[in-house]
């Protein structure tokens, strides 16, 4: 008898409302929501294996979304204890693989990005196409690490939205309901871009009324990973380039705009990175130097043309890097739109672009 069969047999004996529900499956009363109709289904999840290839049991409540893979904590809720040998059999690799770069020390999730476009997500493609200044394709979803459908991304990578919640937390229902709500809003109304460590999704609200006060939201997949935010399109880089260029902007759409405007004929000597906030320039440059070794690079900053930041701010911020890099260039978009409003940045190519350039 396999381990999963032993565990199912024990659960059928002691779990409230437990009854068989087909081959290698059963249902029971959920220990979290305690719905009397026995809405928690438990059975073989054939895509989850440990290193010996043993089948594993997964569970999911159709009422409250309490879900996961059967482990020691789950069994304790029903008073089931197991011996050391059985405990070893419960060790598995459900989590997405994490790697650590030995030089930068950056932890990174190994994930895949869905590149199919659902009918209900075509309005997001229209939104992106407007900002890109051209029709966005399925290949662009991969290149620019675009999460078009939040649920598809989680499903494809077998991620658990409720992983951060302790099932024994007295506020579990409240927290899980909020995560269900936020996941649904992200799926239907937001489009996101994945950070360089594949752990943060910077999401843009397109048409959510429930979250209309939230223009951008950042979702963290694995909260145990503490890397600061950086976004880089998935574009090959020649680390042996004789004249490399590091292109930087604050926002994801700004660096994409710069790439689309000025670097369509790519020779792989360019790095493109968005830093999130203005205060992160130095941290990002230090990280990029570790990643690339581009100490002879040109720096192009596609700056936000805000009234509170003049050229002297950038001169002061980059003064410690004058001997490290070849040139440091600041680009502003000084165009005005058809209504006479300043365009300010490079993030929406449906608006005009007029470049003002400074070398510091």
Give how far Cα 22 sits from Cα of 3, 26, 40, 41, 119, Å. Answer: 18, 7, 14, 11, 34
The more confidently predicted of residues 210 and 157 is 210
At 203-248, the pLDDT tens digits run 999 999 999 999 999 999 998 888 889 999 999 888 888 889 999 9
Give how far Cα 348 sits from Cα of 45, 128, 252, 308, Å. Answer: 44, 9, 11, 21
Q: How far is it, in rounded angstroms, from Cα 31 to Cα 74?
A: 9
Closest CA to 300 of 247, 345, 353: 247
Give phi and psi for 262, each to the nearest 5: -120, -10
| Beta pairing partners, 17 | none
CA 342 to chain centre: 31
Cα dihedral across residues 123, 126, 130, 136: positive or negative: positive
At 286-301, the pLDDT tens digits run 989 988 889 889 999 9
Helix-then-strand count for the chain, H and E: 10, 17
- Contact by Cβ (8 Å): 176, 162: yes
Helix (H, G, I), strand (E, B) or coil at 275: coil
Taking the whole predicted model, whether its pTM rises above 0.75 is answered as no
At 78-107, the pLDDT tens digits run 999 878 777 766 654 444 556 666 667 788
Closest CA to 232 of 220, 217, 249: 249
Helix (H, G, I), strand (E, B) or coil at 98: strand
């Amino acid at each position: 008898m396999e381990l999963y069969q032993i565990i199912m047999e024990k659960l059928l004996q002691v779990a409230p409302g437990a009854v068989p529900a087909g081959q290698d499956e059963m249902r029971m009363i959920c220990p979290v929501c305690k719905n009397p109709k026995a809405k928690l289904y438990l059975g073989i999840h054939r895509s989850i294996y440990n290193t010996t290839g043993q089948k594993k049991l997964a569970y999911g409540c159709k009422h409250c979304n309490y879900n996961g893979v059967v482990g020691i904590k789950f069994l304790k809720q029903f008073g089931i204890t197991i011996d050391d040998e059985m405990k070893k059999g419960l060790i598995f690799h459900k989590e997405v693989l994490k790697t650590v770069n030995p030089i930068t020390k950056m932890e990174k999730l190994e994930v895949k990005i869905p590149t199919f476009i659902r009918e209900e997500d075509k309005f997001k493609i229209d939104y992106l196409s407007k900002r890109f200044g051209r029709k966005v394709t399925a290949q662009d979803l991969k290149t620019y690490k675009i999460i078009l459908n939040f649920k598809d991304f989680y499903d494809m990578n077998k991620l658990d939205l409720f992983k951060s919640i302790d099932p024994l937390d007295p506020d579990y229902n409240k927290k899980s309901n909020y995560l269900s709500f936020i996941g649904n809003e992200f799926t239907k109304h937001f489009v996101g871009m994945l950070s360089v460590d594949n752990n943060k999704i910077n999401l843009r609200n397109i048409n959510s009324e429930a979250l209309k006060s939230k223009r951008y939201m950042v979702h963290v997949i694995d909260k145990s990973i503490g890397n600061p935010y950086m976004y880089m399109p998935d574009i090959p880089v020649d680390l042996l380039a004789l004249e490399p260029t590091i292109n930087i902007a604050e926002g994801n759409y700004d660096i994409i705009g710069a790439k689309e405007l000025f670097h369509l004929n790519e020779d792989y000597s360019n790095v493109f990175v968005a830093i999130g906030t203005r205060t992160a320039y130095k941290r990002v440059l230090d990280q990029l130097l570790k990643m690339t070794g581009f100490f002879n690079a040109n720096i192009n900053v596609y700056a936000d043309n805000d009234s509170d930041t003049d050229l002297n701010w950038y001169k002061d911020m980059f003064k410690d890097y004058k001997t490290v890099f070849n040139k440091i260039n600041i680009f502003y978009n000084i165009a005005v739109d058809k209504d006479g409003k300043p365009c300010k940045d490079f993030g929406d190519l449906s608006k005009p672009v007029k470049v003002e350039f400074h070398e510091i």
